[in-house]
């Protein structure tokens, strides 16, 4: 009976979504049996132009690595016949392995070519693989050298491959996470209760509330300032929450 109710509830959610675009909110944690699990919430605008958030499902995952979560997300969406082509946003908790990573990618692009080349050269030496001379002219396989642009191996592998791939990854993140989405994720990270709620930031939480005008009209926003001040103080000084 429980399974039947769950099925009909999920069916009603999918029918309400229709063919519209949606975003997902994902969190992962351990249950009481110390098994890793992932929860997924759909976020979309219904036919009355109201932002709706609906719990879609919870699944056990082998681990909380990015690859494991990605497979679990794709499997759950596929189970409900939801196409990834209609996905327009993704939100994760502050400790997730899948949060926005623009700064890390930019650091790799700017500073880590030399370390990558050293690692690859070491691997080649260990396995007796011929190491290219990076100062020699790069030759495209199968083409006469006179018909190719004269670039060194270093320029080809660093600029045309390494930099190009990193730029494509950064552009993909920019396409998937607009400034507004990124701002939302940064604000959501302030809800992390770790270390006696050290991440709590009153101004960012008020800013987060403004993303939900139906839940927080103007008068509530004004009251939220003093309410959050008291709430954060209470949480940080309450021994009951030290283990979160």
In this predicted model, what pLDDT tens digit does every residue of 57-96 receive, in sequence order?
888 777 666 667 778 888 888 888 887 777 766 665 543 4
Supply the pLDDT for residue 67: 67
Position 41 pLDDT exceeds 70 = yes
Helix (H, G, I), strand (E, B) or coil at 152: strand
Mean pLDDT calculated for residue range 157-166: 87
Q: What is the pLDDT of residues 90-129, one digit of tens each?
A: 665 543 444 476 777 778 888 889 999 999 999 999 999 9
Supply the pLDDT for residue 24: 82
Supply the pLDDT for residue 94: 43
Of 87, 69, 71, 93, nearest in space to 17 by CA: 87
Position 222 pLDDT exceeds 60 = yes
Position 145 pLDDT exceeds 80 = no
Task: Tell me what the pLDDT averaged over the chain comes to.
Answer: 79
Strand partners, 59: 38
For the record, the structure tokens of 181 come out as 């989405």
Supply the pLDDT for residue 118: 92
Position 33 pLDDT exceeds 60 = no
Burial of 10 (0-12, 13-18, 19+ CB in 10 A): middle
Supply the pLDDT for residue 35: 67
Position 225 pLDDT exceeds 80 = yes
Supply the pLDDT for residue 110: 83
Q: What is the DSSP string of 20-42?
A: --EEEEEEEEE-TTS-EEEEEEE
Position 9 pLDDT exceeds 80 = yes
Of 170, 174, 177, 215, nearest in space to 91 by CA: 177
Mean pLDDT calculated for residue range 32-53: 76
User: Phi and psi dihedrals of 89, rounded to 5?
Assistant: 180, 150
Mean pLDDT calculated for residue range 160-185: 76
Share of the chain above pLDDT 90, in %: 6
Q: Taken in order 83, 89, 93, 98, is the CA torsion positive or negative?
A: positive
Supply the pLDDT for residue 17: 84
- Highest-confidence segment of 21-30, 47-56, 98-107: 47-56
Of 198, 187, 204, 201, nearest in space to 236 by CA: 198
Position 243 pLDDT exceeds 60 = yes
Distance CA 238, CA 191 (A): 16
pTM: 0.39
Counts for the chain of helices (H) and strands (E), in that order: 10, 4
Distance CA 169, CA 177 (A): 12
- Please provide the size of the chain in residues: 244
Supply the pLDDT for residue 21: 81
């Amino acid at each position: 009976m429980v399974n039947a109710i769950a099925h009909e509830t999920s069916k009603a959610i999918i029918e309400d979504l229709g063919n519209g675009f949606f975003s997902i909110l994902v969190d992962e944690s351990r249950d009481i049996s110390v098994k890793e699990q992932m929860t997924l919430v759909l976020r979309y605008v219904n036919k009355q132009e109201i932002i709706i958030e609906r719990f879609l499902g919870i699944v056990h995952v082998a681990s909380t690595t990015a690859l494991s979560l990605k497979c679990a997300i794709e499997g759950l969406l596929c189970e409900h016949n939801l196409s990834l082509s209609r996905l327009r946003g993704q939100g994760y908790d502050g400790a997730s392995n899948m949060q926005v990573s623009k700064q890390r990618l930019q650091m790799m692009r700017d500073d880590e070519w030399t370390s990558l080349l050293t690692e690859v050269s070491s691997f080649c030496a260990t396995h007796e693989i011929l190491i290219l001379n990076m100062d020699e002219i790069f030759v495209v396989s199968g083409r006469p050298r006179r018909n190719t642009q004269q670039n060194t191996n270093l320029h080809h592998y660093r600029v045309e491959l390494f930099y190009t791939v990193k730029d494509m990854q950064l552009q993909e993140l920019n396409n998937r996470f607009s400034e507004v989405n990124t701002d939302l994720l940064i604000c959501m990270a302030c809800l992390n209760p770790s270390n006696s709620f050290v991440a709590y930031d009153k101004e960012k939480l008020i800013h987060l509330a403004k993303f939900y005008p139906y839940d927080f009209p103007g008068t509530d926003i004004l009251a939220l300032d003093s309410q959050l001040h008291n709430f954060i103080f209470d949480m940080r000084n309450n021994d009951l929450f030290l283990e979160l």
